[in-house]
Amino acid sequence: MTTMALIRRAIASIALLLAASQCDVIAFTTPLESLCPPTRISTQLRAKDPSSSSPTPLASASASSSRRAFLATSAIILTSGNALFPAYADEQDNVEPPSSSSDAFESIAARAARVSQEVTQSEIAQQLADDEANQRRIDLAQKLKDDIRTIYDFTLPVNGKAREISELIGQTFSDGSSGDGWTDGGEGESSTPGRMNGGRVGTRVKAILVVNMKQDDPIARKNIPELIELVTRFGRNGEFAVIMSPTDQGYYEPDTSALLRLKLEQEYGYGNTHGTILTDKVNLLGSGAVPFWRWIEGSCRTPAGLGKIQANFEKFLVDGRTGKPLRRYPRKYQPYDIADDIAALIQGKPLPPAGSNFKEEWRNAAKEAENDTYRFQKGLNYFDQ
């Protein structure tokens, strides 16, 4: 039996009950008779003619009228029900029941098997992607480990001439035989200058901060004075130095290298203090990038594993003794926040944990790399020069 048939039957039953409750005389012999007690009219008629065993004409007329009213009301209700639910009735009447419960079970089982197969394939693909990413990280770590170059193997242009970095910062070296804790241990020995484990070890400059900069970037107004303050604080004995490199890549730097050097000296006093070095303009990215910047970007990556520079004023802290970069800081990580790291490095201690805002600033830097005005982007000398 369809849903519409059940609805029709329910409506008919309700109609019968309603009609029965309103009728004066029930002519049918049904269980509903008990629901309708005799009315006043029929009682009065019987009282007037108690000897008569047949109903009076008036009572017969009332019963006939009640029957007609009942039948008419029922017909109207049933007709209204059909009019209210024709579309639903047609839809229910057209529904074909399943051929058998076994067919329905097989259909559910087939769908479950298909979903399970799709989930399994997705998990396998994700596992393969994770394995490939992990293998790339392992290969990169091994490559960096095998790279024996240090900051002292590179030069940077200053006043149009290539200058060795050790010369720029005034570094001195020992032969690595003093056993001061920095040259002992490790894997293997090397006799190449500038290396740990038997090679030259920096003795004067203990910490170096390398920064890419833009003079007209708004945060330069805060970063440059703080960098000078760090040199004043930690570089009194020449143990700390800052190297800044301007570039035309990213947001365009309109001034020449000579004009930039003059502006920084006059506006901030940068360059007047020993340990504050400004290079000429260099390329940081692409095939035209200077070897030093290509090396330091690849050797000291962001927490997300990215090597290339994304914005101005990214900072690299380099161990002056070994010449190896140790930590990289995002654009808006202020120089004052690096003070504890510099102090630990000068004292020969391991770096303390990064500040509480370190990872948060890197997440902000990733967002700014997509829409910030000073980001390195296409059309602004980003690609090969």
Task: Note the pLDDT tens digit of each residue in 113-160.
Answer: 888 888 888 888 888 888 877 777 676 667 666 789 999 999 999 999
How do beta strands 240-246 and 207-213 pair? parallel
Does the structure show a pLDDT above 70 at 193?
Answer: no
Contact 19, 73 (CB under 8 A): yes
Alpha carbon dihedral 201, 205, 206, 207, in 10-degree steps, equals -120
Distance CA 108, CA 318 (A): 63
Distance CA 48, CA 72 (A): 32
How do beta strands 240-246 and 276-278 pair? parallel
Point out which residues pair with 201 in neighbouring strands: 174
Q: What is the mean pLDDT of residues 183-198?
A: 39
Token pair for 281? 């303009």
Token pair for 329? 């800081």
Task: Note the pLDDT tens digit of each residue in 332-377.
Answer: 999 999 999 999 999 999 999 988 899 999 999 888 888 777 777 6
Q: How far apart are the first and last CA of the chain?
A: 82
pTM score: 0.61
Question: Smallest Cα–Cα separation from 280: which of 246, 255, 233, 304?
Answer: 246
Between residues 175 and 309, which one has the greater pLDDT? 309
Domains of the chain listed by start with CATH number:
3-48+55-94 (no CATH), 147-170+205-371 (3.40.30.10)
